[in-house]
Amino acid sequence: MARIPIHPGDHLAEELRALEMSAAELARQLRVPTNRVTGILNGQRAITGDTALRLGHFFGTSPQFWLNLQTLYDLRVAEQRAGRRMTRPIAWRRSMNLASCRPLELRSC
């Protein structure tokens, strides 16, 4: 069953509706250009680290919350684009005995 990608802008739009706030007002509060907020709301722009920090501070959430919404959206879009190609096991993995592989050693740099 395909999972429908939901852009973080949809979540942001719900928050703005609940606050009865415009995109322009949110942009003023976040101190960002209005087109950044409208781009997110229209699903044309991704949430960046900077925007996540600002949204987290404004809404009292963690920046990670907003980045997680973006990551989930990106993964679901990738799943849809990959389609059936990703439902079959990758050939090298079927023939490889992973139990015989040594664990990776972590080395300090």
Domain borders along the chain are: 8-95
Distances (CA, A) of 8 to 48, 72, 76, 78, 93: 11, 9, 12, 16, 34
Q: How confident is the model at residue 21 (pLDDT cuts 50, 70, 90)?
A: very high
Q: Alpha-carbon distance 78 to 99, whole Å?
A: 29
pLDDT digits (tens, 9 = 90+) for 66-93: 999 999 999 999 999 888 676 666 666 6
Fold of 8-95: 434 Repressor (Amino-terminal Domain) (1.10.260)
What sections of the chain are H helices per DSSP? 8-19, 23-30, 34-41, 49-59, 63-82, 91-95
Burial (CB count within 10 angstroms: exposed 0-12, middle 13-18, buried 19+), residue 13:
middle
pTM: 0.76
Q: Round the average pLDDT of the chain to a whole number and report it.
A: 89
Q: How far apart are the first and last CA of the chain?
A: 44
3-state secondary structure of 50: helix
